[in-house]
Amino acid sequence: MRKVKSLVLAGLLAFAPALLLNGPVQAQENAAVAAPATGNETAAADSAAKAAAPAAAPAAPAEKVAAPPRMKPTPGIGMPMPGEITLQKQFSPTGHTARWLHDVMLLPIITIISIFVLALMLYVMIRFRQSANPTPSKTSHNTVIEVIWTVVPVVILLVIAVPSIGLLADQYKPAPKDALTVKVTGYQWYWGYEYPDNAIPEFVSNLLPRDKAEANGEPYLLAPDNRMVLPVGRPIKLIITGADVIHSFAVPSLWVKMDAVPGRLNEKTFTIEKPGVYYGQCSELCGARHGFMPIAIEALPPAQFDQWVLSQGGKPKGAGAATTAEAGAPAAVPAPNAKL
């Protein structure tokens, strides 16, 4: 009886912080979501949760280009689905290699070894049980078998090592010179994105409340208000850091996962193959609202990306930059956040 009592008490204690925190944090979240009305740069300037950022950025850009309309997510792409047991479908070259390594090499090898060992154990248990085998063999060495069970595992490990080390090297390959740099900062409990190459100051990305996510057809807990917008087909270099505690920036369908450590700049390079919305979450336990700091990358064709950059008051960068005429902004298209 006492045991049950103390269990209940422990449970209450465990949940108390979450219950207590929910009130004020909800208010903060609503305030942060209410702020962005016109565009990301306004959100960055207004948001109460915003950390101190360089004030040099122009508050109101002279010419106003309409941002491309907020992209609708495709169910099953860039997000997990109920009942799924394997890795998400991949949309970056490293992701394809990784998924191939997992699906074609590791999983079959693990399965075969497990079944083989299980079969051996069952055979030994039945064939050599005491009643069937009353006088056990006194054999202590068998050179042939010993050589086999040493060499075969070594060969298996070597076969796995070759693609595995290749993938590891791929994941940490430095970014090419023309890569687009985006700085990612993890805060308790939201993300900040800054585009130094495009002169777009940091803006904040907060959880989209359930009613707004549902009204928008976006997955609650994965959908933020402001997405990180990136171009398709151009190498991306993320500079990732934390402002307070360790967070982790992770987008499974792009094979991106990198710790955001205070005082350290971590780097992650990747290329997105297809336009779409790719979701992720903070993946390092970072406090009470760790589960409420989602990530969404909206990958746009380069011309549309440049249009988005202009709409944020930034400057398109690099050889692939579209001309303003090409971007051809349709006049009445609302800013990414206008619909929220």
Using CB under 5 A, list all residues that contact Cu ion: 247, 282, 286
Beta carbon nearer to Cu ion, 234 or 247: 247
Nearer to Cu ion, 190 or 305 (CB): 190
The answer to whether residues 37 and 338 touch, using CB atoms and an 8 Å cutoff, is yes
CA distance 45 to 35: 9
Closest distance between Cu ion and the C-beta of residue 247, in Å?
3
Instruction: Return the number of the residue (247 or 317) whose C-beta is nearest Cu ion.
Output: 247
Percent helix, percent strand, percent coil in the chain, to nearest 5: 40, 20, 40
The C-alpha atoms of residue 48 and residue 276 are separated, in whole angstroms, by 30
Which element (helix H / strand E) includes 91? none
- Rounded least distance, CB 228 to Cu ion, Å: 15
Residue 206: CB minimum distance to Cu ion, A:
13
**Dist CA 18 CA 26 (whole Å):** 12
For Cu ion, the closer of residues 198 and 283 by Cβ is 283
8-state DSSP, 86 = S
User: At closest approach, how far in Å is the CB of 159 from Cu ion?
Assistant: 37
Residue 313 CA neighbour count, 13 Å, CB half: 17
Angstrom distance (rounded) from CA 111 to CA 203: 46
User: 282 or 299, CB closer to Cu ion?
Assistant: 282
3-state class (DSSP) for residue 295: strand
CB nearer to Cu ion: pick between 179 and 282: 282
Give me the least distance between CB of 24 and Cu ion, in Å please.
18
Least distance to Cu ion, CB of residue 222, Å: 14
Is residue 33 within 8 A of residue 208, CB to CB? The reply is yes
Instruction: Name the strand (E) or helix (H) holding 160.
Output: helix 143-171
